[in-house]
Amino acid sequence: MSEYFGNIKTGAVTIATGLGITLKHFFNAIHRKGDAGLDDVDYFRQVDGLCTLQYPHEVIPTPKNGRYRLYNNIEDCIGCGQCVRACPISCISMETIKVAADDLAVCGKTSDGQQKKFWIPVFDIDVAKCMTCGMCTTVCPTECLVHTPVSDFSEFDRNNFIYHFGNLSRLEAEAKRRKNAELQAKALAEKEKKAADALKESNGGE
Amino acid sequence: MQELDIAGLGSVRVTRKNDNVVVIEKDLATEQMVLAMGPQHPSTHGVLKLECLTDGEVVTEAEPYLGYLHRCFEKCCENVDYPAIVPYTDRMDYLSGMNSELAYALTVEKLLDIEIPRRVEFIRVIVAELNRIASHLVAIGTYGIDLGAFTPFLFCFRDREIILGLLEWASGARMLYNYIWIGGLAYDVPSDFLKRVREFVAYFRPKAVELSNLLTENEIFVKRTRGIGIMPADVAINYGWSGPMLRGSGVKWDLRRNDPYSVYPELDFNVPVPDGKVSDVGDCLSRHLVRAWEMDESLKIIEQCIDKMPTAEGFNPRSAIPKRIRPKAGEVYARAENPRGELGFYILSDGKSTKPLRCKARSSCFVNLSAMKDLSKGQLIPDLVAIIGSIDIVLGEVDR
Amino acid sequence: MGNSLNAWSEALAGFYFFGLPLGLVIIAAIPLVFIALYSLTYGVYGERKISAFMQDRLGPMEVGKWGILQTIADILKLLQKEDIVPASADKFLFVIGPGVLFVGSFLAFAVLPFSSAFIGANLNVGLFFAIGIVAIEVVGILAAGWGSNNKWSLYGAVRSVAQIVSYEIPAAIALLCGAMMAGTLDMQQITILQSGSWGFAHFFLFQSPIAWLPFLIYFIASLAEVNRAPFDIPEAESELVAGYFTEYTGMKFAVIFLAEYGSMFMVSAIITIVFLGGWNSPLPNLGSVALNDWTNGPVWGAFWIISKGFFFIFVQMWLRWTLPRLRVDQLMYLCWKVLTPFAFVSFVLTAIWEVYVP
Amino acid sequence: MEEGKVLSQSVQQSAAAYAIIHEKFGEALSAFDANETMPFFEVLDTSLWPDIALLMRDHPKLKFNYMACLSGVDYQAEEKLGIVCNIESLGFFNHKLAVKVKCPRDGGFIPSVSCVWHTANWHEREAYDMYGILFTDHPDLRRILCPDDWEGFPLRKDYKVQETYHGIKVPY
């Protein structure tokens, strides 16, 4: 019999404490907790209250070193392709064109003075596939591929997820390719001529 | 009384009262209903299908079906080199990414036999314990929802949000970090990160007490979980249970204490085991209590790590990371104490390539779930939900 | 203000339309429409906001200033949602289920006195009618559960039948204690007996020392009857997905939702009438400051009963967002082993109190 | 066992455990490989594997009552499939040991130990699902992770992904 009443008593007591807690929260609902980020010094001095943020109007605090959407500072990119090989899910696609000898000056140097040897007409990152693991940013020699703390970049059309960082328009790229092709043809022609002369000399020499 | 088989009536019992009164009795044909607690069900914590044979409310037999979230972790590991596997380990048990990374990093470091700077070890322990608290908060919160109490879930997620903010501040990402690399860390923690973590510990202690008042000590919650799904200690060991499940059955076994790794031997924390006073040993309530007690232990560990943390000048988190990871031919099995149990990695390398020949992940939830078939015999459906909640499975790790 | 209202309702009562007492129908309809609309909007919006504040979150803020128009948004959403009837469902039962459920829960409003002038049907067995009519809901739930041909809703329906039927007994006995104190079953009469210059002191809850027990028992039993709070087992979201109304969409779902909030208010109204003096104002007359007289009268009466009703709705919501859910057999244990014996004890004690103490 | 190398304490314990098993089963076991990361021995006569398992679990001085992990492995060089079981004594002695059991690539059988350790039940089903190793007298040997009618065994080195599965193109 005592267990029967004990049951009812503990039931009532624990339900009362539970109700007390929720009522305390109910009456505490007049305060709203601020939207300071974790990297803010007085994050824990904010008042305890409603802690939800209204997302589109109020921004969710992300720290400065947040690793989210990729950004490639194309001027510093030397087109080495390390990131393309390092990416586990191969969501980076890149095309490079060799810089012709006389264009070196035009092509310019990277910010730390390294001479760039490739034009990069196409440098696409498929942000839908990218899982921001950061493998590419660590292998990048000139550290031009960096994470930005932008974490909400939804689109209506799936193709907008492919970000283009290439700095050559299609026409310029065509021009560069044609020029390279000519240079190669010329170099080939010279080599054959030289080989033919060398052949002639050796015949002549005997 | 005779047993006859009359055409059209099936087996009947015929008794002759007197010459013109004959009583024919026939059993009501009842058959068990197959109920698919299917891959899409609010309380299976993910895509798990439990096909139950039910007789009214009582479940006579429940057969778990897996594989709905199978992403071929082991096949991917064989095509990717060692450092690139780290992001995959996060995605196995996505509620405790840091712990899974720690387990994988330990295994490969054991294979490579390299020395890790002490500060890296301490930072790893802090972020792993923070992640353990966050994972236990999800476990406790969803267990409340399974039994109908919605408010504790939101209190848990409010506090978990702070931990995710801390980990985002340290590693740059909220849940899937790729932060613990083989031989070191991706980045050092920001300057006043440790001060903020200490403030968090002070903030979280009263909140944990409030949570236990609201949920764990609630009489209805105790009534719904005490004495249900009892698993004796030796059967638990035979089933390969580990972590809070094993400790819930009364076995004092914690890998951080019994098979120490990283800097855990230097830290003192006790391994909470239920003693049968508040809950029967081995039932759902004791598993839940072990998780709640473990959160307090993790807070203690974090505080000790902050005190013992070596200074940061001249510290490069990537100092001990080998340029080219090409381990010698051999194999290794090492493991770490994940919030859900023992996560072990068996890695076989042939010494020639930078890719593992075989990388098997021994997942804790996969093994904990294997006992579901025996645990669920003869339980009511609401109890089945309570048992699944107490096993606290994450289907990412079960199906790999 | 009071008498003009009476004159107006006399005129309306006299209005006959081709021999049909249309006026009376309108009088009866006014509280229904008012309550249904009001309790639904307050119920849905209130539930969301109250649960939000209890859980440290903001609740609906998008639609309207503080999310005020959220209920209208819900109704519009439910209106334009496709009304799916599962292919293998038992069409007739599936369609009739919500109807019976809605009718069952709103019929009891006919006998509830909303103010001295406003009562739908002044039956002298009002309380008996209110208790009895609620049982129709069970038929509606069973029809809905069986009709949607879904194993989970069958579970939900069977469970809710067991729950509602078994909880009617402690509820009825607890209400009988109130009726015993009043000596009549007529709701209007019960309320009138509880009016007096001392305000709340006249309420039955404070009239007899044991009255708090039937009050508590009836409140708990009424929770179970409307499938609320710790007893929401039929539509236990985490086990049975949504119980008997899993397969319902669109307007049928809105009707079931409306029925639930309607019966929530109806149950709170009954408990205020029987134990807390219906439309009498709780404020006492302090000498010259005659608060009681100032705050009484037909329109004040409506305000008082609705505000008391909303207070009990708040308590129901408060319980829902704090407590986990009972299991079916624990539910039965609570009903038969705890509530019913205590109901009998309170019944006997109230009888002793009524007979021996004038 | 090379005596030259100083063995760490845990490896010595495993060696001691191996010695007890070796006494009983002698030639059915291969030599004890005392490497640092995972000391193991191999069961040459695979039909004796359940008896060895039973001995390891019940022998008073061994008490290997906890099977941590059973992983299937594809030894392509030796044309063999095999399983590696990491077994441990939990609560009694803290020694752990690894056991390897191999079987020919196609049509090979390994006797099941799910009657000795229940955890082996699902691990063996996974090994069958991924490698096609058939376990004799296993309670219900069927695929656990892949769909039941999946062709081929995914983790084998020479595994080719099937083109379509029920009309759905598999390689993306």
Provide the β-strand partners of residue A122: A95
What is the reported pLDDT for A105? 76
User: Which of D10, D36, D38, D113 to mutate against chain B (most B CBs within 10 Å)?
Assistant: D38
Each residue's pLDDT tens digit, C242-280: 788 888 888 888 888 888 888 888 899 999 999 998 888
What is the reported pLDDT for B381? 87
User: Rounded mean pLDDT of C118-144?
Assistant: 86
User: Rounded mean pLDDT of A50-57?
Assistant: 86
pLDDT-based confidence at residue D3 (cuts at 50, 70, 90): very low
Alpha-carbon distance B214 to A25, whole Å?
A: 12
Contacts of C19 (CB under 8 A, 6+ apart): none
Q: Could you tell me if residue D2 is inside a domain?
A: no
CATH of residue A94's domain is 3.30.70.3270
Q: Does residue B142 contact residue B44 with C-beta atoms inside 8 Å?
A: no
What is the reported pLDDT for C303? 85
Provide the β-strand partners of residue B24: B14
Mean pLDDT of chain A: 86
Q: Dmax over Cα atoms in chain D, in whole Å?
A: 61
Q: Does residue B400 contact residue B73 with C-beta atoms inside 8 Å?
A: yes
D1 has a pLDDT exceeding 50 = no
Domain limits for position D96: 9-145
User: Rounded mean pLDDT of C239-244?
Assistant: 76
Q: Could you tell me if residue A78 is inside a domain?
A: yes
Each residue's pLDDT tens digit, A149-195: 888 888 899 889 999 888 788 888 888 888 888 888 888 898 888 88
User: Rounded mean pLDDT of C306-320?
Assistant: 91
Domains parsed from chain B with CATH numbers:
2-30 (no CATH), 72-399 (1.10.645.10)
Is B383 within 8 Å of C327 when comparing Cβ atoms? yes
What single-letter DSSP state applies at residue A32? B
User: φ, ψ for residue A152 (rounded to 5)?
Assistant: -115, 105
Find chain D residues with C-beta within 8 A of B78's C-beta. 155
Give how far A187 is from chain B: nearest CA, Å. 39
Among candidates C169, C254, C180, C243, which has minimal Cα distance to C211? C180
DSSP A64-84: TT---SEEE-GGG-----HHH
Residue C322 burial by CB count (10 A; 0-12/13-18/19+): exposed, middle or buried?
buried
Q: Could you tell me if residue A81 is inside a domain?
A: yes
Q: Could you tell me if residue D74 is inside a domain?
A: yes
Which residue numbers of B have CB closer than 8 Å to A's CBs?
80, 83-84, 86-88, 151, 158, 161-162, 165-166, 168-169, 171-173, 176, 178, 186-187, 190, 192, 196, 199-200, 202-203, 210, 213-214, 217-220, 222
CATH of residue D18's domain is 3.30.460.80
Mean pLDDT of chain B: 89
C126 has a pLDDT exceeding 70 = yes
Q: Does residue D133 contact residue D106 with C-beta atoms inside 8 Å?
A: no
Residue C95 burial by CB count (10 A; 0-12/13-18/19+): exposed, middle or buried?
middle
Q: Is C348 helix (H, G, I), strand (E, B) or coil?
A: helix
Poorest-pLDDT segment among A44-53, C306-315, D133-142: A44-53
pLDDT-based confidence at residue B199 (cuts at 50, 70, 90): very high
Residue in chain B nearest C326 by alpha carbon: B220
The domain total for chain A is 1
Residue in chain B nearest A15 by alpha carbon: B218
What single-letter DSSP state applies at residue C33? H
Give how far C334 is from chain B: nearest CA, Å. 11
Find chain D residues with C-beta within 8 A of B333's C-beta. 37-38, 68-69, 84, 86, 98
Residue in chain B nearest A43 by alpha carbon: B196
* Residue reference for tokens 């290794």: B332
What is the reported pLDDT for C111? 85
D2 has a pLDDT exceeding 50 = no
Q: Could you tell me if residue D157 is inside a domain?
A: no
Each residue's pLDDT tens digit, C1-27: 456 666 776 777 777 777 777 777 776
Greatest mean pLDDT among A101-105, B360-364, C54-58, C323-327: B360-364
Mean pLDDT of chain C: 85
Alpha-carbon distance A94 to C320, whole Å?
A: 57
Give how far B217 is from chain C: nearest CA, Å. 11
- What residues of chain A, 18 to 57, have a C-beta less than 8 Å from chain C? 18-19, 21-23, 25-26, 29, 32, 49-52, 54
pLDDT-based confidence at residue B351 (cuts at 50, 70, 90): confident
A206 has a pLDDT exceeding 60 = no
Q: Does residue C189 contact residue C115 with C-beta atoms inside 8 Å?
A: no
A195 part of contact set with chain C, CB < 8 Å:
no
What is the reported pLDDT for C114? 82
Q: Could you tell me if residue D72 is inside a domain?
A: yes
Each residue's pLDDT tens digit, A111-142: 888 888 888 888 999 999 898 888 899 888 88
Provide the β-strand partners of residue B18: B21
pLDDT-based confidence at residue A109 (cuts at 50, 70, 90): confident
Q: Does residue B137 contact residue B145 with C-beta atoms inside 8 Å?
A: no
- Tell me the two tokens of residue A100: 């012709």
pLDDT-based confidence at residue D170 (cuts at 50, 70, 90): confident
Q: Does residue D87 contact residue D64 with C-beta atoms inside 8 Å?
A: yes
Each residue's pLDDT tens digit, D18-48: 888 888 888 888 888 888 888 898 988 888 8
Greatest mean pLDDT among B334-348, B373-387, C219-233: B334-348
More confident residue, B77 or C38: B77
Alpha-carbon distance D103 to D105, whole Å?
A: 6
B17 has a pLDDT exceeding 80 = no
Alpha-carbon distance D63 to D55, whole Å?
A: 9
Q: Could you tell me if residue D167 is inside a domain?
A: no
Residue in chain A nearest B176 by alpha carbon: A133
Contacts of B230 (CB under 8 A, 6+ apart): B280, B282, B283
Q: Could you tell me if residue A19 is inside a domain?
A: no
Provide the β-strand partners of residue B13: B3, B25
Is A19 within 8 Å of C55 when comparing Cβ atoms? no
Give how far A80 is from chain B: nearest CA, Å. 18
More confident residue, C122 or B297: B297
User: Rounded mean pLDDT of C322-329?
Assistant: 88
What is the reported pLDDT for C6? 63
What is the reported pLDDT for B343? 94
What is the reported pLDDT for B304? 94
The domain total for chain D is 1
Q: Could you tell me if residue A130 is inside a domain?
A: yes
Q: Could you tell me if residue D169 is inside a domain?
A: no
- Three-class SS string for C234-275? CCCHHHHCCHHHCCCCHHHHHHHHHHHHHHHHHHHHHHHHHH
Q: Could you tell me if residue A180 is inside a domain?
A: no
Percentage of chain B exceeding pLDDT 90: 56
C330 part of contact set with chain B, CB < 8 Å:
yes
DSSP A109-155: B-TTSPBP-EEEEEEEEETTT-----HHHHH-TT--EEE-S------
Alpha-carbon distance C173 to C153, whole Å?
A: 31
Domain limits for position A111: 70-168
What is the reported pLDDT for D4? 47
B346 part of contact set with chain D, CB < 8 Å:
yes
More confident residue, B192 or C234: B192
